[in-house]
Structure 1
Amino acid sequence: MSAVADIHGRPAAALPADWLSSAERALRLAVEVPAAALVAAEAVILFAGIVSRAIGHSIIWSDELASILFLWLAMLGSVVAVQRGEHMRLTFVVGALSPRARAWCEALAIGAIFAFLALLLHAAYDYTEDQSFVETPALGWSGTVRALAVPVGFVLALLSCALRLARHRITDLLGVGAVLLGVVALLALAAPALAGIGNWALLVFFVGLLGVGILAGVPIAFSFALATSAYLLTTTSTPLTIVVGRMDEGMSSLILLAIPLFVLLGQLVDATGMARVMVAFLASLLGHVKAGMSYVLLGAMLLVSGISGSKTADMAAVAPVLFPEMRKRGMKDGELLSILAASGAMSETIPPSIVLIAIASATGVSIAALFTAGILPALVLALVLAAVARYRAGKEEDAVAIPRAPASVVKKTLLVALPALLLPFLIRTAVVEGVATATEVSTIGIVYSLVLGLVIYRGGLKRKEILPMLARTASLSGAILFIVGAASAMAWALTQSGFSHDLARAMAAVPGGKIGFLLISVVAFIVLGSLLEGIPAIVLFGPLLFPIAHQFGIHEVHYSMIVILAMGLGLFAPPFGLCYYAACIIGGVAPEAGMRRIWIYLGALFLGLLVLTFVPWFSIGFL
Structure 2
Amino acid sequence: MASADDTLPLVAETEAPRAGSRFMRPVEAVASALLVVVVGLLLTGAISRYFFSLPVVWIDEVSSISFIWLAMLGSLIALDRNEHLRLTLVLRVLPDRAKGFVETLALLLVAAFLLALAYPAFDYMMEERFITTPALNIAGSYRAAALPFGICAMAALAVAQAVKRGTLRDLVVSLAIIGAVLGLLWLASPALIHAGNVTILLFLVVFVALCLAGGVPIAFCFGIGTVTYLAFATRVPVFVMIGRMDEGMSSLILLSVPVFVLLGCILDSTGMGKAIVDFLASLLGHVKAGMSYVLLGSLFVVSGISGSKVSDMATVAPALFPEMKRRGHRPKDMIALLATGAAMADTVPPSIVLIVLGSVAGVSIAGLFTAGFVVALVLLAALAALARFLARDEKMDGVRRASPGLIWRTLLVAAPALVLPFLIRSAVSGGMATATEVSTFAVVYALFIGMVLYGGISRRTFYAMLVETAALTGTILMILACAVAMAWAITQAGIAQDLATLMAGLPGGWIGFMAVSIALFLVLGCILEGLPAIVLMAPLMYPIARKLGINDIHYSMVVVTAMNIGLMTPPIGIGFYLACKIGNVSPDEAIGAIWPYLLALFAGLVLVAAVPAISGA
TM range (shorter): over 0.9
Match of 2:53 in 1: 56
Match of 1:111 in 2: 108
Give the conservation status (yes or no) of the 8 Å contact 1:7–1:106.
Answer: no
Aligned partners of 1:596, 1:176: CA distance in 2, in Å?
40
Shift of 1:497: 0.5
Residue identity matched to 1:345: A
Residue identity matched to 1:404: R
Give the conservation status (yes or no) of the 8 Å contact 1:315–1:340.
Answer: yes
Aligned partners of 2:85, 2:294: CA distance in 1, in Å?
30
| More displaced stretch, 373-382 vs 183-192 | 183-192
Cα deviations across residues 469-494 of structure 1 (Å, max 9, x unaligned)?
Answer: 00000001110110000000000100
Give the conservation status (yes or no) of the 8 Å contact 1:530–1:576.
Answer: yes
Match of 2:438 in 1: 441
- The aligned length equals 609
Alignment of 1:35-54 (within 5 A): 35-53=31-49, 54=51
Cα deviations across residues 237-296 of structure 1 (Å, max 9, x unaligned)?
Answer: 211111111011001111011110000001111111110100000111111111111111
Match of 2:368 in 1: 370
| More displaced stretch, 234-243 vs 68-77 | 234-243
Are 2:593 and 1:597 equivalent residues in the alignment? yes
Aligned partners of 1:5, 1:27: CA distance in 2, in Å?
24
Alignment of 1:40-439 (within 5 A): 40-53=36-49, 54-167=51-164, 168-394=166-392, 397-398=394-395, 400-439=397-436
Aligned partners of 2:342, 2:499: CA distance in 1, in Å?
31
Shift of 1:460: 4.1
What SS is found at the alignment partner of 2:391? helix
Give the conservation status (yes or no) of the 8 Å contact 1:45–1:66.
Answer: yes
Shift of 1:516: 0.4
Match of 2:447 in 1: 450
Residue identity matched to 2:136: L
459, 462, 469: which is aligned to 2:465? 469
Aligned partners of 1:6, 1:372: CA distance in 2, in Å?
33
Cα deviations across residues 579-602 of structure 1 (Å, max 9, x unaligned)?
Answer: 222222222222212111111111
What SS is found at the alignment partner of 2:436? coil
Shift of 1:177: 1.6
- Change in Cα spacing, 1:545 to 1:184, as seen in structure 2 (3 Å) is same
Residue identity matched to 1:411: W
Gaps of at least 5 residues in structure 2 are: 5-9
Aligned partners of 2:570, 2:186: CA distance in 1, in Å?
38
Give the conservation status (yes or no) of the 8 Å contact 1:76–1:153.
Answer: yes
Residue identity matched to 1:579: G
| More displaced stretch, 536-545 vs 600-609 | 536-545
Match of 2:550 in 1: 554
- Change in Cα spacing, 1:522 to 1:393, as seen in structure 2 (3 Å) is same
Aligned partners of 2:14, 2:609: CA distance in 1, in Å?
42
What SS is found at the alignment partner of 1:58? coil
- Change in Cα spacing, 1:272 to 1:8, as seen in structure 2 (3 Å) is closer
Aligned partners of 1:615, 1:265: CA distance in 2, in Å?
34
Match of 2:489 in 1: 493
Give the conservation status (yes or no) of the 8 Å contact 1:342–1:572.
Answer: yes
Match of 2:520 in 1: 524
Match of 2:11 in 1: 5
| More displaced stretch, 161-170 vs 537-546 | 161-170
Shift of 1:112: 1.6
Residue identity matched to 1:91: T
Aligned partners of 1:9, 1:129: CA distance in 2, in Å?
39
Shift of 1:9: 8.6
Alignment of 1:555-574 (within 5 A): 555-574=551-570
Aligned partners of 1:329, 1:300: CA distance in 2, in Å?
19
Residue identity matched to 2:521: F
Are 2:500 and 1:504 equivalent residues in the alignment? yes
Aligned partners of 1:394, 1:476: CA distance in 2, in Å?
42
Q: CA RMSD in A?
A: 1.7
Shift of 1:315: 1.5
Shift of 1:399: 5.3
Aligned partners of 1:584, 1:460: CA distance in 2, in Å?
30
Gaps of at least 5 residues in structure 1 are: 12-20
Aligned partners of 1:614, 1:257: CA distance in 2, in Å?
34
Aligned partners of 2:500, 2:592: CA distance in 1, in Å?
38
Residue identity matched to 2:578: A
Task: State the TM-score, normalized to the length of structure 2.
Answer: 0.96
What SS is found at the alignment partner of 2:435? coil
Shift of 1:223: 0.3
Shift of 1:434: 3.6
Aligned partners of 2:200, 2:21: CA distance in 1, in Å?
41
- Change in Cα spacing, 1:464 to 1:399, as seen in structure 2 (3 Å) is same
Match of 1:484 in 2: 480
Aligned partners of 2:23, 2:432: CA distance in 1, in Å?
41
Give the conservation status (yes or no) of the 8 Å contact 1:205–1:231.
Answer: yes
Aligned partners of 2:92, 2:149: CA distance in 1, in Å?
33
Aligned partners of 2:29, 2:324: CA distance in 1, in Å?
40
Match of 1:18 in 2: none
Give the conservation status (yes or no) of the 8 Å contact 1:558–1:619.
Answer: yes
Identity of aligned residues (%): 49
Give the conservation status (yes or no) of the 8 Å contact 2:496–2:540.
Answer: yes
Aligned partners of 1:10, 1:425: CA distance in 2, in Å?
40
- Change in Cα spacing, 1:177 to 1:7, as seen in structure 2 (3 Å) is farther
Give the conservation status (yes or no) of the 8 Å contact 1:9–1:106.
Answer: no
Cα deviations across residues 14-48 of structure 1 (Å, max 9, x unaligned)?
Answer: xxxxxxx7x73332202111111111111110000
What SS is found at the alignment partner of 1:439? helix
Give the conservation status (yes or no) of the 8 Å contact 1:530–1:573.
Answer: yes
Match of 1:612 in 2: 608
- Change in Cα spacing, 1:9 to 1:432, as seen in structure 2 (3 Å) is closer
Aligned partners of 1:35, 1:436: CA distance in 2, in Å?
26
Residue identity matched to 1:186: L
Aligned partners of 2:47, 2:277: CA distance in 1, in Å?
32
- Change in Cα spacing, 1:561 to 1:38, as seen in structure 2 (3 Å) is same
Shift of 1:408: 1.1
Give the conservation status (yes or no) of the 8 Å contact 1:282–1:299.
Answer: yes
Aligned partners of 2:76, 2:323: CA distance in 1, in Å?
39
Cα deviations across residues 83-123 of structure 1 (Å, max 9, x unaligned)?
Answer: 01111111112112222222222222222211111111111
Residue identity matched to 2:611: V
Aligned partners of 1:104, 1:579: CA distance in 2, in Å?
28
Give the conservation status (yes or no) of the 8 Å contact 2:366–2:430.
Answer: no
Shift of 1:330: 2.6
Cα deviations across residues 177-197 of structure 1 (Å, max 9, x unaligned)?
Answer: 222223212322332332222
Task: State the TM-score, normalized to the length of structure 1.
Answer: 0.95
| More displaced stretch, 481-490 vs 298-307 | 298-307
Give the conservation status (yes or no) of the 8 Å contact 1:7–1:109.
Answer: no
